[in-house]
Chains A and B, each alone.
Chain A
Amino acid sequence: MSPSFIWETFVTLLAGVPVTLQLTVVSVLAGIALALVLAVLRLSRSRLARLFVSTYVFAFRGSPMLVQIFLIYYGLGQFKSTLQDLHLWYLFRDPYFCVLLALSLNTAAYGCEIIRGGLQSVPAQQVEAGRACGMSGLLLFRRITMPIAVRNIVPIYGNEVILMVKGTALASTVTIMEITGIAAKLIAETYRAFEVFAAAGALYLLINFFLMRLIGLVERAMSPHSRRTQRPSEAVEAIATTH
């Protein structure tokens, strides 16, 4: 084992960081957008909409992300002619698109549950105080429900983002050259699995270290009331345990 080789590998692997970050950022943003829609449907009065969302969430949380990626990238290849007719084949033959799609659909399922939990854990009494002074509908949501819900959601969603950073490693299985993809290629060339994976692991750790700090900063900036009392809100703990 040679430390200098680990360092060299570490530097080589840096080339994969932009791809890893890009996969994370795009899929998390697309996931949040989809999760919002799903959460609204989940809390709607329509039984059909609720059933759809709970089936979706069940399917994407209950099966491995790797299987989801394979299903989209390899599985849909079986329907090449149909996809060509729909002029969608150029998308589905691109592994980068397929991975982004799988990651987004997967994180949306978790995000939906996080957002639902965050909305439901807004104390009913504070909402009632809003009603009692004449608020309703959008005003009540904008001024009371949403700000409280967002403060519940951010710390838990941060956790999901960290899981997504790690999840992007699966993209290497469909030829994408992000950190793990480059690492696998280096191992094939050098047969030095320990050093290469140690360097790759360290790189993920480093990314997530900064990410956790960033999430912590956002959390502190948004919740001065819990910062000063040094007490995490009970609501946050409640959703964290159900997630």
Chain B
Amino acid sequence: MTVMPAVSLCDIRKKFGHFEVLKGVSFDAREGDVISILGSSGSGKSTMLRCINMLEVPTSGTVSIHGELIETRVKSGSTAPANPRQVDRIRSEVAMVFQSFNLWSHMTILQNVIEAPVHVQRRPHKECIAEAEALLEKVGIADKRGSYPSELSGGQQQRAAIARALAQKPKVLLFDEPTSALDPELVGEVLTVMRALANEGRTMLVVTHEMGFAREVSDRILFLHKGQIEVDGRPDEIFTKGRNLQFDQFTSRVQ
């Protein structure tokens, strides 16, 4: 029996105008994998992550989530999802955590967390609230349930955003530079939560600059350079110097 990969990207290319950001990227993420995606700015790492839930629609290539191919079609010169409903459904199973949190400013933290379960997944309100409270407890901000996002620190907002993502009961969690907008002293509290999630065996794809996290927590590291995956391997393998010139340059700059 073959096990379907949780996420499968096949020859993904993405052009913005004439500039090709992704030049044929392919990889499979197995269920339970924690994959860190590294690369300097402009390498295409965020774009690649955003292709997984179709926030960016690849110019060509395919994305499959748990074996289900996301269908696209070319319409008047640009690629678009063939079936918007399929994309909505897949997005509700693939949660995303953003660099600048993107919490909904008009809702309390609890309302933010129950929004997708109640209104997208249409699960019972009571059940969602109980789950949301447990999740807020888990990320350590249970006391902030009635607060508005603007009343929280960056680290608390990002933990709320993680709770919001978890409330979707996602099969895959995408993190787009989750600590890059945080003050240095607040990075730790977010990484602690992410470490705990990794230890639970969740499937996580993390675009990050946190080398420590990538090294210690992830099962696998992808290094992107100029729109291509230059390095793909286990942290203990790839951190031995001399395997790839670009990666060595990158790591020596970052650390």
Contact = CB atoms under 8 A, between A and B. Distances in A.
Contacts of B150: 225-226, 229, 231
A131 interface: yes
A23 to B, nearest CB: 33
Given A126-B102, A126-B104, A151-B106, A133 B95 contact: yes
B106 A148 contact: yes
Contacts of A129: 96, 98, 102-104
Interface in A195-236: 223-226, 228-229, 231, 233
Contacts of A188: none
Nearest to A132: B96
5 contacts: A126-B102, A126-B104, A139-B120, A224-B148, A225-B151
A224 B106 CA distance: 8
Interface in B71-123: 84, 87-92, 95-96, 98, 100, 102-106, 115-116, 119-121
Interface in A53-86: none
A3 interface: no
Interface in A15-61: none
B149 interface: yes
Given A132-B96, A135-B119, 18 more contacts: A123-B105, A125-B98, A125-B102, A126-B105, A129-B96, A129-B102, A129-B104, A131-B91, A133-B91, A133-B92, A134-B116, A135-B120, A136-B87, A139-B120, A148-B104, A223-B106, A225-B105, A228-B151
B88 A134 contact: yes
Interface in A96-152: 123, 125-126, 128-136, 139, 143-144, 147-148, 151
A182 to B, nearest CB: 44
A123 B168 CA distance: 22
Interface residues of B, number: 29
A199 B116 CA distance: 56
B100 A125 contact: yes
A61 to B, nearest CB: 30
A134 B105 contact: no
Nearest to B167: A133
Nearest to A231: B150
B10 interface: no
From A126, A136, A144, A231, residue with most partner B Cβ within 10 Å: A126
A127 B105 CA distance: 11
For the complex of A and B, 10 pairs with smallest distance between CB atoms: A134-B92, A225-B148, A129-B102, A133-B116, A134-B91, A134-B120, A132-B96, A125-B102, A134-B88, A147-B106
Given A133-B168, A134-B89, A134-B91, A128 B148 contact: no
Nearest to B91: A134
Given A129-B103, A147-B106, A136 B88 contact: yes
Contacts of A130: 104
Nearest to A137: B84
A136 B86 CA distance: 12
Nearest to A235: B105
A131 B90 CA distance: 11
Interface string B194-214: 000000000000000000000
From B96, B98, B105, residue with most partner A Cβ within 10 Å: B105
A243 B169 CA distance: 44
Contact of B119 (A126, A128, A132, A139): A139
B218 interface: no
Contacts of A231: 150
From A126, A129, A132, A144, residue with most partner B Cβ within 10 Å: A132
B106 A135 contact: no
Interface string B22-63: 000000000000000000000000000000010100000000
A225 B106 contact: yes
